[in-house]
Structure 1
Amino acid sequence: MSQSTQLYRRLLNYVRPYKKAFVAALFCMIIAGTLEPAMAKLLQLMIDEGFTANASAKVFWYPAAIVGVYFMRGVLSFLTDYAMAWVANKVLLDLRNEMFAKLIRQPTPFFDNRPAGLLMSKVAYDVQGVLDASTNAVNTLIGDAIKVIALFGFLLYLNWQLTLIAFVLVPPVALAVRAFSGRLRRMTRGSQESMGLINHVLEEAIGAHKLVKVFGGQVYESSRFLRATQQLRGFNMKGTVAAAAQGPIVQTLAAIGIGSIIAAALWQGQKGGLTVGEFNAFIVAIAQLVPAMKRLTDVNAPLQRGLASAESVFELIDADTESDTGTRELGQARGDVRFEQVRFRYPGAARDALDGIDLAIRPGEMVALVGQSGSGKTTIANLLPRFYPVSGGRILLDDIPVEDVRLESLRANIALVSQEVVLFNDSVANNIAYGAMSGATRAEIEAAAKAANAYEFIMQMPNGFDTEIGERGTKLSGGQRQRLAIARALLKNAPLLILDEATSALDTESERAVQAALDALMSGRTTLVIAHRLSTIERADRIVVMDRGHIAETGTHAELLARDGLYANLWRMQFRQDDDTNGAT
C-alpha cells in the first residue's frame, strides 16, 4: 500500500463520524453527475426534431426541460458544497483539537528541540491544508469522475467510434499527472518548513521587540525574516511551475484528441452516418467533458499539498506523549525528598549536567541551591517534577521512587514559582485559580491573594479580580506578576515548593512585598530555592553550593562563610557588586 493511500485511508477515518453528511454529499454528486449528459441529449432532440418543416408543438418543451436540468444541477451543487464544507470544518475541528491535546502532553525535551513557531505553524496552517486532501479534493475527484464516466457513457451510446478516439488520451494524461506529483509534494513540504521558520522569527522579534530596539537589531531581524521569506518564495515558485506546467500539457493532449474527434465526426457527417443533432450533442458532451477532465488533472496539485500537510499533521499526532510509567498514587506527600547518586546529561551535551548528586531534604525544610550559571541548580529543580528522566541514580519522595508515582499525583504535590512568571490573557481570578484549581471559590481565591500581598493592588484594578491582565500579564508590573504567581501557589497548597530565582529581577520595594508573600508561602512546606541573590537565602535551613554538576559545599549561611570556601567567595563577589552599584547611584 502506497504512502498516499495510507494517508488517505487515515484521513477518511476522521470523516467517518460524519458519514451521513458525507454520503448525502456523495449522493448529490452522483445525481448531478448523471444529469450532465441530459443537456447534450435534449439539445440533440431539439435540433433533430425542431428544425424540420413538420415539427410538432412538443419541441417547445425542450427549452423548459433544459432550464429544469440547470435548476436541478444548481440545487444539487449547493447541497453538495454545504454538506462537504460542514464535514470539512468538522474534520478540521477534530484534527486541531487532537493536535493541541497531543502538543500539551509532550515531554519537555520535545519543546527544547523544536521552535515554537514551527509547532504553531503545524496547528494553525498545516492542518488547514489537510482539507484539500480530505474533503475538497474528494469533491472534485468524485464529482468530476462521475461526470466524466456519465459523459463517456453517453458518448459511447451516441457514437462509439468517435468515443474510442477520446480513450487514447487517458494514458498520456495519467503519465503527465504522475510525473508532477512527487515534485509538488516535495515543494509543499519545503513550504511548510519555511512557514514554520517565518513564524519562529516573527515570534522572537515580537516577543523581544524592546531588546531589538535598544540594541539596534532591526536590520539583523529584517535580514533573518528576508531569508525565511525568500526560502518560502523559492519553494512556492517551484511548486507553481510544476502545477502550472501540468495544466497546459494535459490541455494540449486533450486538444489533440478533440481535434481528431471533430475531424472524424465531420468525415462521418459527410458519409451520412451522423445527424446534425447528434454532431451538436457530441460536441456539447465533449465541451462538458474537457473542463471536468481539466479539474481532475488540476486537483493533483492541491491533493499533493494536502497530503504533505497530512504528513506534517500526523507527525505531531503520532509523536509519543510524556512517558508515565508510574502506577502509585501519592496522596498528600509529607515532603521528604532524597537524591541518591543522581546523574543527568542533556541530549547532545558533552558532559553530565549532574554527576552523582546525593541530597536529602527533610519535610518542611528550606534548602537553597546556589552556584555559578551552568552549575546544575535548575537541572535539580527540573528533575523533581520529572520534566526530564534521570540518566542514573534515583529520586525518592516519601521513600517512593518518583518514577513509580503517577505524574498527575506527583505534580499535584508540587508548586512552582519562577523568575519568568507565566500568566495568561485572562482574568486575575482565572490566573490564580488555574488548571486543577479552577473550581476554587471566590473566597478561596481572595484569601490566597491576601496571603500573597496581592489583594490591595488587585482591588485597585478596573474590575478587581475580573480584570483582564493582557498577554503574559503585560498590564502588571514585575512585582505584581510575581505576587499573582505566589497566590496561585498558595491556592494549590502543595507540600513541595520550588522557587526558581523568584525575586532576582525585582526592585527593592517589590522584593520586600514579594519576599513577605514568599515567607507565607514557604511556611510548613518543603522548599527548594534557586537563587543568584544570596541575600535572599540567608535564613535557609541549609545552603547547597553547586559547582559543575557536583555539590561543593553544604551548610548554613554562617557555617559556609566561616568555612571561607566557594560560597564565601560568591558572597564577597556579590557584596562588592552591590557596593559598586550603590556607590554609582
Structure 2
Amino acid sequence: MAGPGGRMMMGQSGERSMDFKGSGRRLLRQLLPEKAALWVMVAAGVGSVALSVAGPWILGKATDLVFAGVVGREMPDGLSREEAVEGLRERGDGGLADMLSAVDFTPGRGIDFTTVGGVLLVALAVFAAAGLLMLVSTRASTRVINRTMYRMREEVQAKLARLPLSYFDQARRGEVLSRATNDIDNISQTMQQSMGQLINSLLTIVGVLAMMFWISPLLALVALVTVPLSVAVAARVGKLSQPQFVRQWQSTGRLNAHIEEMYSGHTLVKVFGRQGQAAQEFAEQNEALYEAGFRAQFGSGVMQPLMYFVSNLNYVLVAVVGGLRVASGTLTIGEVQAFIQYSRQFSMPLTQVASMANLVQSGVASAERIFDLLDAEEQAPDPVRGARPGQARGAVALERVSFRYDPLKPLIEDLSLAVEPGQKVAIVGPTGAGKTTLVNLLMRFYEVTGGRITLDGVDAAAMSRDDLRAGIGMVLQDTWLFGGTIAENIAYGASREVTREEIEAAARAAHADRFVRTLPDGYDTVVDDEGAAVSAGEKQLITIARAFLSDPAILVLDEATSSVDTRTEVLIQKAMARLAHGRTSFVIAHRLSTIRDADVILVMENGALVEQGTHEELLPAGGAYARLYAAQFAQAVAEVD
C-alpha cells in the first residue's frame, strides 16, 4: 500500500531491490556513539593480530634451530659451516649444498635444546598475550553491539509513538511486530557473530600479507594469484543470494502477520469454519518463506566450499614454489614453514569473510526494513511551547472543518459546530458517515485539512498532543486491557500516582466494584492482554473506571452495549451517565433510544453534517434523523414479531 510521497508501506511484496551499500553504511553509523569502546576494540584487535602474526615466524626460527642441530650433528667436527658446504659440492652433492647454504648450523654440534626451549617459551608468551588482547577486543565488541541495539530498540519504540494513526491503519500489526522484534534480533545476532570476526579477519589479512612480503616477495605474489578468483566468487555468490535474503525477511513478516491475525481471531475462524482456508494461507506463506530461506541459505552456503577450494589451490602453489626455493638455498625450511602457515592464515580470513556474507546480507536486509520504519512519515511535531487553555471548561468549537483521507475523495467538508461546557453531543449516522473520523480529528489522531478545532478558545493544533489528550477521556466500544492486575488496569487512566482507595472509588462509581470483589484475588486478580478472566461487559466497566480516574473535562463515549446482557447494559449506561455528568461529552450513538436527552444531536451522512438539533426538534422534521429512528423502530418491531 502506497503511503504519502509514494513510500512503500508495510505488507508490500519484495519487488523493490535492496540498497545494500546505503543500508550497510547507515547500519555502521549506528555504532558511532560508542567511539571509545570501538577504539579499544580495534586497538586490542590490532595488538592481538600483530602478536598472532609474529607467532609463525617465531616457530619458524625454532624449526630452523632444530634442523640446524640435526644437520650439524651429521657433519664432521672441527670444520666451519662454509667448509662443510664446500665439501658437499666437491663430492657432487650440489643440490644438498645449495639447500644447506641457507642453514646456520655448526658442524659437530647437535640440537641446542636450551635455545629451542627459549624460543618456544617466547612463542607461548606471544600466543597467550594475543589471546588476552582478543578477549579484551571481544568484550569491547560485545559492549558496542549491545549498546547499539539498545539504542536502536529505543529509536523504534520512540518512532512508533510518533507515527500517525494512518500508518497503523495501513500496516498489518503482525508485520509491525516482526520488524520491531524479529528484524532487530536478527541484526543483533548478525553483528554479534560477524563484526568482531570481520575486523579480526581484515586485520589478519593485512598483517599476514606484510609478513609474507617480508619473508619472500616472490612467494607472496604466488599466494596473491588466487585472490582475484576469491573476490570474483564472493561477489558473484553475494549478488545472487542478496535478493533472496530480502524476500526471506519479507516473507517472515507476512507469515507473522497472518499468524497474529489468525491467533487474535481464532474464535471467528472456528465459528465461520475458516480453519481450512487459514491453514491453506499459512501453508502458502510458509512455503514462500521456505523457498526464500532455502535459496538464500543455499546460495550463500556454497560460498565456503568454493573458498576452501580456492584456498587449497593457494596451498599447493605455495608448497611447490616454496619447496623449490628451499632446494635452491634461497629460503630456509623454517621460513617456508612459516610462510605456509601465513598462506593458511591468509586464506582462512578470506574464507571467513566470504562465509560471513550470508550473515551480513541477512542482517543488512533486516536493517533496511528497520530503516524503512524509522524513515516513515511522522505526524506533525508539537509546537515548541504549546498553548494551554486558562481553565479547562470543556468548550469545543469546529470552525469550517474539512478532512479527507484521500486528497481526491472529500469526506468531511465545511463542518462547523459550537459545543458549550457540560453539553452532551450525540453523533449519529449510518456506517461510514464519518462519526469516528470526527472523534479522531478532535483527538488529533488525524490532522484537519481545512478549518480548525478549538478547545476553550485555544486552537487544538497549537496545543501539544499530550496536553490536548490529557483533558479528554475516551471509553470506546473496543475495550483494551493489558497484562496485569485489575487495579493496575484501572490506575492506567491516571496521570499521577493513585492510592488503592482512589482506584476502588473509581470502580464503585463505574459500578465495577461489586463484580471485582467476587473474583478470587479481587483487585489483585491478574488478567491477560485479552482480558480472558472477565466478560466483555466487565471489561467495559473497568475502562469506564479508568476514565473516572483521569477526571477529564471532555468525554468521548462510544456506546458499547451491543454485545452484553440487559443487566450489564443497564450498569454500563448508568456508569457512562454518571461519568458524563457535568462534563462535555461526545457520544457516538448506535441506539438512538439512548440519546434522546442529548443537548445536541449531530446527524452525519457521507462526512457532512446534514442535521443538527434535539430529539424533539429533529424527529418531527422528517429528515435523516427521522429516517434512522424509524428504521431502528421498524427493526425492533420486526424482531418482536
Q: TM-score range by the shorter chain?
A: over 0.9
* Identity rate, percent: 34
- Which of 529, 532, 538 lines up with 1:474 in the alignment? 532
- Please tell me whether the aligned partners of residues 419 and 505 of structure 1 are also in contact (alpha carbons under 8 angstroms): no
Determine helix, strand or coil for the equivalent of 1:378.
helix
Q: Structure 2 CA distance, aligned partners of 1:501 and 1:352? A: 27
Letter in 1 for 2:215: L
* Distance change in 2, residues 1:324/1:115 (3 Å): same
Letter in 2 for 1:49: L
Letter in 2 for 1:34: A
Q: Which has the larger displacement, 32-41 or 16-25?
A: 16-25
Q: Which ranges in structure 2 are unaligned for 5 or more consecutive residues?
A: 1-17, 74-109
Letter in 2 for 1:329: R
Equivalent residue runs for 1:379-528 within 5 Å? 379-434=437-492, 437-528=495-586
- Please tell me whether the aligned partners of residues 331 and 409 of structure 1 are also in contact (alpha carbons under 8 angstroms): no
Aligned residue for 1:188? 245
* Distance change in 2, residues 1:510/1:435 (3 Å): closer
Aligned residue for 2:52? 36
Aligned residue for 1:226? 283
Q: Structure 2 CA distance, aligned partners of 1:171 and 1:436? A: 66
Equivalent residue runs for 1:136-535 within 5 Å? 136-324=193-381, 326=383, 327-347=386-406, 351-434=409-492, 437-535=495-593
* Distance change in 2, residues 1:501/1:185 (3 Å): farther
Determine helix, strand or coil for the equivalent of 1:473.
coil
* Distance change in 2, residues 1:505/1:438 (3 Å): farther
- Which of 6, 13, 18 lines up with 2:34 in the alignment? 18
Deviation, structure 1 residue 582:
4.7
Letter in 2 for 1:328: A
- Please tell me whether the aligned partners of residues 248 and 296 of structure 2 are also in contact (alpha carbons under 8 angstroms): no
- Please tell me whether the aligned partners of residues 436 and 588 of structure 2 are also in contact (alpha carbons under 8 angstroms): yes
Q: Deviations over 1:169-212 (max 9, x none)?
A: 33333333333444444322222221111111011100000001
Deviation, structure 1 residue 3:
6.5
Determine helix, strand or coil for the equivalent of 1:342.
strand
Aligned residue for 2:178? 121
Aligned residue for 2:103? none
2:83 paired with 1:27? no
Aligned residue for 2:76? none
Q: Structure 1 CA distance, aligned partners of 2:207 and 2:299? A: 30
Equivalent residue runs for 1:52-63 within 5 Å? 52=70, 53=73, 54-58=110-114, 59-63=116-120
Q: Which has the larger displacement, 95-104 or 273-282?
A: 273-282
Q: Which has the larger displacement, 19-28 or 283-292?
A: 19-28
- Please tell me whether the aligned partners of residues 184 and 305 of structure 1 are also in contact (alpha carbons under 8 angstroms): no
Aligned residue for 2:62? 46
Letter in 2 for 1:468: V
Deviation, structure 1 residue 510:
0.7
* Distance change in 2, residues 1:325/1:46 (3 Å): closer
Letter in 1 for 2:297: T
Deviation, structure 1 residue 161:
1.2
Q: Structure 2 CA distance, aligned partners of 1:278 and 1:549? A: 86
Deviation, structure 1 residue 5:
6.0
Q: Deviations over 1:518-566 (max 9, x none)?
A: 1110001111111111222122222222222222333322333333433
Determine helix, strand or coil for the equivalent of 2:530.
helix
Deviation, structure 1 residue 434:
1.8
Deviation, structure 1 residue 302:
1.9
Q: Structure 1 CA distance, aligned partners of 2:240 and 2:498? A: 55
Q: Structure 2 CA distance, aligned partners of 1:15 and 1:436? A: 38
- Please tell me whether the aligned partners of residues 223 and 343 of structure 2 are also in contact (alpha carbons under 8 angstroms): no
Determine helix, strand or coil for the equivalent of 2:585.
strand
Q: Structure 1 CA distance, aligned partners of 2:41 and 2:458? A: 58
Q: What TM-score, normalized to structure 2?
A: 0.85
- Please tell me whether the aligned partners of residues 181 and 300 of structure 1 are also in contact (alpha carbons under 8 angstroms): yes
Q: Structure 2 CA distance, aligned partners of 1:95 and 1:186? A: 24
Q: Which has the larger displacement, 471-480 or 77-86?
A: 77-86
Deviation, structure 1 residue 331:
4.9
Q: Structure 2 CA distance, aligned partners of 1:332 and 1:460? A: 41
Q: Structure 1 CA distance, aligned partners of 2:264 and 2:57? A: 65
- Which of 131, 143, 147 lines up with 1:86 in the alignment? 143
Letter in 2 for 1:389: E
Q: Structure 1 CA distance, aligned partners of 2:372 and 2:538? A: 40
Deviation, structure 1 residue 64:
4.4
Backbone CA RMSD of aligned residues: 2.5
Deviation, structure 1 residue 106:
1.0
Q: Which has the larger displacement, 272-281 or 197-206?
A: 272-281
Determine helix, strand or coil for the equivalent of 1:527.
strand
Q: Which ranges in structure 1 are unaligned for 5 or more consecutive residues?
A: none
Determine helix, strand or coil for the equivalent of 1:471.
coil
- Please tell me whether the aligned partners of residues 307 and 351 of structure 2 are also in contact (alpha carbons under 8 angstroms): yes
Letter in 2 for 1:343: S
Q: Which has the larger displacement, 397-406 or 516-525?
A: 397-406
* Distance change in 2, residues 1:320/1:558 (3 Å): same
2:169 paired with 1:109? no
* Distance change in 2, residues 1:324/1:72 (3 Å): closer
Aligned residue for 2:101? none
Deviation, structure 1 residue 457:
2.0
- Please tell me whether the aligned partners of residues 392 and 471 of structure 2 are also in contact (alpha carbons under 8 angstroms): yes
Aligned residue for 2:5? none
Q: Deviations over 1:242-297 (max 9, x none)?
A: 31233344333333333222221122233233332222222222223222221122
Deviation, structure 1 residue 329:
1.8
Q: What TM-score, normalized to structure 1?
A: 0.92
Aligned residue for 2:98? none
Letter in 1 for 2:322: A
Letter in 2 for 1:379: T
Q: Structure 2 CA distance, aligned partners of 1:142 and 1:69? A: 20
Letter in 2 for 1:217: R
- Please tell me whether the aligned partners of residues 493 and 546 of structure 2 are also in contact (alpha carbons under 8 angstroms): no
- Please tell me whether the aligned partners of residues 145 and 192 of structure 2 are also in contact (alpha carbons under 8 angstroms): yes
Letter in 2 for 1:290: S
Letter in 2 for 1:43: L
